[in-house]
Structure 1
Amino acid sequence: MDRQRISRLAHAHHPIAAPLTDESVALLLERATAGAADGRALDLGCGEGAWLVRALAARPRWRAVGVDLDAAALTRAREAATALGVVRRIGLHHVDARQFSSVEPFDLVLCVGATHAFGGLLPTLAAAREHLAPGGRVLVGEGFWEREPSRAALDGLGGAARDDYADLATTTDRVLADGWTPVSGYVSSRQEWDDYEFAWTGALAEWALEHPDDPDAAAAREAADRHRREWLHGYRGEFGFVTYLLRRD
């Protein structure tokens, strides 16, 4: 089953592709756009555009650009922007985020839950810097080890290596050493993680139950069951998620 379709179905009830509640997202966006009545935002790996459409709804003089490889997700992003009346202020591009270029820089660059597209946190920040206006901000979300990961946790994260992530202190130190200053940040709670994972696996499993004749039904159910098992018997309580709001020194 196509990975992009799995993601779309799994996020049906939790459009933010990260363990964050609606309230946490609103708070992060408020901090990210604070003090700027107008501006330009770019989401590298925007999916269905959940971050951008919410930002535009709250900031009527902002404009935004979203970039993603999933054409169906971009269609949903356009539909969501239309429903909220912000479609004229958003541009959506079906292109690899690593290859996207723009003449004008952006006041806010986002990449939350999609740093794998660039090969990790620091490469993501390097890409974001290329698009950032002077004085601009970056909102980036990344995983970290809450404690020394077990073999089950590593296996549950797709065969991750211990060095793929660090603890929160080391992750923050690396960001600082790379020339960025965290001006705000948010660590997702255990409740946010659990809600996200139950929403992810539940939406996918429910779709399979409701569409038994679909050629992808069995694969969807298997993916939901496997993901639930990897979470509950693997990385739950060992893998955390932090969202940084960063500025350059």
Structure 2
Amino acid sequence: MNRERISRIAHTDHPIKAPLDDTSVDRLLAAALPRGDERVLDLGCGTGEWLLRALAARPGLRAEGVDISEDALRQARRAADDRLVLHHQDAAGFASADRFDSVISVGATHAFGGLLPTLAAARRHLAPGGRVLIGDGFWERSPSPEAVEMLGEGTDLATTVDRVVADGWTPVHGHVSTRHELDAYEWSCWGSLASWALDHLAGTGSTEALAMANLRRTEWLHVYRDSWGFVSLVLARTPGED
């Protein structure tokens, strides 16, 4: 079973692939799309859940999404209308002559090599006065060597925000995922995967899926649950930095 299928099953009951509840998602979108008629781009859109949520609530919105996964884009197309344009390519290399009022990239900084490279990519696509919605992990407490090996180097929340500000951005809204959101996300992902495996014991991939669910749940509980956090920021360019 490939990673895309595992991810699709794991996110059955949590289509936003980040530790955020519905209220948090709506508030972040409201801050990133204050008018409601913006043109928005999602770099690393996956199945397009952020864009679909935004489009459903804003009839005047137009959206584009970029992702390397053909399967994820196929799912997005099935749920989309003609206001959503999707591009099958590497988000880091995406080029467009257009500029966007809002650029989204939540949980996709690995595709660009980190938080600041993701912001650099977003800046290339951002219209003057536009806003960026970005989400990434940080260390709430000093991580174990095992956690760093698993999730990579990182910084605490204050240092993360300081680096963003030093890069020429001003936060206009932010949300730190709560313990409830973090736990609900992990329980949902690995519970959904385990449930699917138990319902398909005679089918191909069930043994692998169950093993993966058990492994990921164990890693979360024993390695990074008490140290890892997630922050979502809505950013505008600092005057004089463009």
Q: Match of 1:212?
A: 201
CA RMSD, aligned part only?
A: 1.2
What CA distance in whole angstroms lies between the structure 2 residues aligned with 1:108 and 1:223? 36
Measured against aligned partners, the alpha-carbon deviations of 1:126-156 in whole angstroms (never above 9, x if no partner) come to 001111111110000010010111234335x
Among 182, 195, 205, the alignment partner of 1:193 is: 182
Where does 1:27-106 land on structure 2 (aligned, <5 Å)? 27-34=27-34, 36-81=35-80, 87-106=81-100
Distance 2:215 2:113 in 1: 24
- 1:6 aligned partner: 6
Query: CA separation in 2, counterparts of 1:190 and 1:204?
Result: 21
Note if contact 1:190-1:237 (Cα within 8 Å) is conserved in structure 2: no
Which of structure 1's runs of 4+ aligned residues deviate more than 3 A? none
Q: Of the candidates 166, 172, 180, which is equivalent to residue 155 of structure 2?
A: 166
- The size of the alignment, in residue pairs, is 238
SS in 1 for 2:203: coil
Gaps of 5+ in 2: none
* Identical positions, percent: 59
**Residue 82 of structure 2 aligns to a residue in which SS?**
helix
Q: Within 2, Cα distance between the matches of 1:37 and 1:221?
A: 42
CA distance in 2, matches of 1:69, 1:216: 23
User: Structure 2 CA distance, aligned partners of 1:213 and 1:100?
Assistant: 42
Aligned partners of 2:196 and 2:113: how far apart in 1? 31
Q: Distance in 1 between matches of 2:195 and 2:127?
A: 43
- Name 1:119's counterpart in structure 2: 113
Q: State yes or no: 1:19 paired with 2:19.
A: yes
TM-score for both structures, normalised by structure 1: 0.92
After superposition, give the CA deviation of every residue in 1:65-87 in whole Å (9 maximum; x if it has no partner): 01111212112212222xxxxx1
State the one-letter code of the partner of 2:7: S
State the TM-score, normalizing by the size of structure 2: 0.95
